[in-house]
Amino acid sequence: MVEFDSASFGVSREGYFKLNWKFEFPDDVEGSYHVYETGVAELPADATVAGLEGEDVDLTAVAEFNPTSRLVYQGTLPVAFVSGLSDGIYRYEVHAMDDSGQVIAKSGVPATVAVMHWPLEQAAGLLIIGAIVFLAVVVVIASGTRRYCSDAFALASTDSEVRDSEDRGSEPREGES
């Protein structure tokens, strides 16, 4: 039997996550894995991240699943990266396939994950704060560059004045004999 590392993967705030599982193919079989999304449920209206996280939360009991059968991964590694999901609760099963494409093992317990994106207000607020910090850094760099360039110009002009006066120093100055 194929076993996920965890039956409940908690809450994904970004809409992506990684599914890991364990299964040993027999020595004479070079098999592959198929991961299917087997159910999708809407989040309850009063759902919170704190209410959906934790070891004792059964995500399958939170909502009723609409059955699906969408292939999300096909490969030889016992890991699948799933992304691009909207808010909801998702259920996944993995099938171990032999060389001829026959199912030799299935996951006994489906993996379940809830996707609950960050609120738009919070994301917009963080974007604005990030923009302000970015602009502040640009202003500091620009003003430092301007000050450095003006100091370098002043130093260069002072050096040329000193050289000019030294050059004039070898010639007799007015009033000197």
In whole angstroms, what is the distance from residue 128 CA to residue 89 CA?
Answer: 30
CA distances from 172 to 53, 160, 175 (A): 90, 20, 8
CATH of residue 59: 2.60.40.10
Q: Report yes or no on 146 lying in a domain.
A: yes
Query: Which pLDDT value is given to residue 154?
Result: 67
Instruction: Indicate whether 126 and 156 sit together in one domain.
Output: yes
Residues 65, 21 within the same domain: yes
Pair 90, 125 in one domain: no
- Are 111 and 130 within one domain? no
What's the pLDDT score for residue 134? 97
- Mean of pLDDT values over 71-75: 94
Residues 6+ apart with CB under 8 A from 57: 8, 51
Higher pLDDT, 45 or 56: 45
Pair 76, 135 in one domain: no
Establish if 72 belongs to a structural domain. Answer: yes
How far is it, in rounded angstroms, from Cα 107 to Cα 21? 9
Residue 29 belongs to a domain: yes
pLDDT beyond 70 at 158 = no
pLDDT tens-digit profile of 86-128? 888 899 999 999 988 899 999 988 888 888 888 889 889 999 9
Q: Note whether 111 and 33 are within 8 A (CB).
A: no
For residues 23 and 106, membership in a common domain is answered with yes
Question: Are 124 and 90 members of one domain?
Answer: no
Q: Which of the four pLDDT bands, split at 50, 70 and 90, describes residue 136?
A: very high
pLDDT digit string, tens, across residues 57-72: 555 555 677 778 899 9
> Domain for residue 140, yes or no?
yes
Shared domain for 48 and 131, answered yes or no, is: no
Domain range for 124: 119-172
Residue 24 has pLDDT above 70, yes or no: yes
> Looking at the predicted structure, is the pLDDT value of residue 22 above 70?
yes
For the residues 134-148, what does the mean pLDDT come to?
Answer: 90
Same domain, 18 and 69: yes
Helix boundaries (H) for the chain:
49-52, 59-62, 120-169
- Report d(CA 86, CA 157) in Å as an integer: 63
Average pLDDT value for residue range 137-156: 81
Overall domain count for the chain: 2
* Residue 83 pLDDT class (50, 70, 90 cuts): very high
pLDDT band at 135 (very low <50, low <70, confident <90, very high): very high
The reply to whether the predicted model has a pTM over 0.75 is no
Structure tokens at 91: 């259920």
8/50 same-domain check: yes
Q: Are residues 102 and 165 in the same domain?
A: no
Do 16 and 35 lie in a common domain?
yes
Whose CA is closest to 72, among 16, 124, 126? 16
Strand partners, 4: 21
Query: Has residue 45 been placed in a domain?
Result: yes
In a domain, 177, yes or no: no
DSSP letter for 86, please. Answer: -
